[in-house]
Amino acid sequence: MHVAVLLFAFALTGTTLALDNGLMRTPPMGWLAWERYRCDIDCENDPKNCISENLFMDMADRLAEDGWKELGYVYVNIDDCWSSKQRDDQGRLQPDPKRFPGGIKKLAHYLHNRGLKLGIYGDMGKLTCMAYPGTPLDKIELDAQTFADWEVDMLKYDGCYSNAMEQELGYPLMSKALNATGRPIGYSCSWPAYQGGLPPKVNYTQLGEICNLWRNYGDIQDSWDSVLNIVDWFFENQDALTPAAGPGRWNDPDMGEHRPCPVPSPLNRPCSGPEHS
Ligand SMILES: *[C@@H]1O[C@H](CO)[C@@H](O)[C@H](O)[C@H]1NC(C)=O
Ligand SMILES: *[C@@H]1O[C@H](CO)[C@@H](O)[C@H](O)[C@H]1NC(C)=O
């Protein structure tokens, strides 16, 4: 099995306030579908790897049964391509009916019964990065309530197809809307990744007040070069990034990658590439 784990930057506690939802006092850890499974929606030909409730239940079983949960890996996170291309007749987001026949709430219960938490994905634009329905300004309250009704525990709010002005309004508005549902929902903002990741464009003080974590920089890809590139960027910019982090508010360098090697691998060569999945 391929396991991708979220990796978060540890940093000393700064001085600013954190989003007051009581969550993520330590860096959240778990599993996110994107790096490996992307937007594979072909469940007919690729049932094991397609974005479906089975994939997330399978990963939940792995976290719960293989010792990951005990180490703190409790989030199982859906990324893009989970939803139907159409909202329902009341204007709400709905999961793809073929791939998530049980619905998101049932999936959340499956995780909760195993001591795990469910994360879902939305986007600040009219469309998500892969052109599924987004959550633009006028849909924020409705979609926050829908996620709360489904008993979701975390939201990754991406930024494709939105402009700087919409982001400036939308990211704080979603924070308020999640709070207003009354359900503590961890809030991951992709905002800084769309602003180049650094001050003065990025206001890390503000981010810490409205988000629990944020993607600072580009997506990780399935290569060691990509891992090193991200490590280098965090190293070079640590003076700006370190003070931003603390309990309840974290830099997110994107997923870590862990691959069990099928055959003994030379020590100086990390296991990598799809042949090891
Ligand atoms: C909402 O915000 C208030 C004040 O910041 C906080 O006390 C409360 O716990 C928050 N509720 C949720 C569900 O996040
Ligand atoms: C950054 O955000 C904080 C908190 O919202 C605010 O007080 C401050 O003025 C902002 N800084 C800049 C440079 O806009």
Question: 135 Cβ partners below 8 Å, 6+ apart?
Answer: 93, 122, 123, 124, 143, 157, 174
199 CA closest ligand 2 atom index? 13
Active site residues: 158, 219
The pLDDT, as a whole number, for residue 262 is 57
Ligand 1 centroid to Cα of residue 97, in Å, is 33
The pLDDT, as a whole number, for residue 256 is 83
> What domains are defined for the chain?
5-272 (3.20.20.70)
Low-confidence spans in the chain with pLDDT less than 50: 1-5, 7-14, 265-266, 268, 272-277
Q: What is the per-residue pLDDT across 173-230, written as a single tens digit (0 to 9) for each?
A: 999 999 999 999 999 999 999 999 999 999 999 999 999 999 999 999 989 999 999 9
Ligand nearest to the backbone CA of 23: 1
The pLDDT, as a whole number, for residue 275 is 39
The pLDDT, as a whole number, for residue 232 is 97
Ligand nearest to the backbone CA of 171: 2
The pLDDT, as a whole number, for residue 263 is 53
Residue type, 206: Q
Ligand 1 centroid to Cα of residue 11, in Å, is 24
The pLDDT, as a whole number, for residue 255 is 86
Name the strand (E) or helix (H) holding 251: strand 250-252
Return the residue whose CA atom lies nearest to atom 5 of ligand 1: 20
Ligand 1 centroid to Cα of residue 188, in Å, is 16
DSSP string across 152-220: --EEEEE-TT--HHHHHHHHHHHHHHHHHHSS--EEEE-GGGGTTSSTTTS-HHHHHHH-SEEE-SPPP
Ligand 2 centroid to Cα of residue 126, in Å, is 27
The pLDDT, as a whole number, for residue 261 is 57
203 CA closest ligand 2 atom index? 1
Return the residue whose CA atom lies nearest to atom 1 of ligand 1: 179
Ligand nearest to the backbone CA of 212: 1
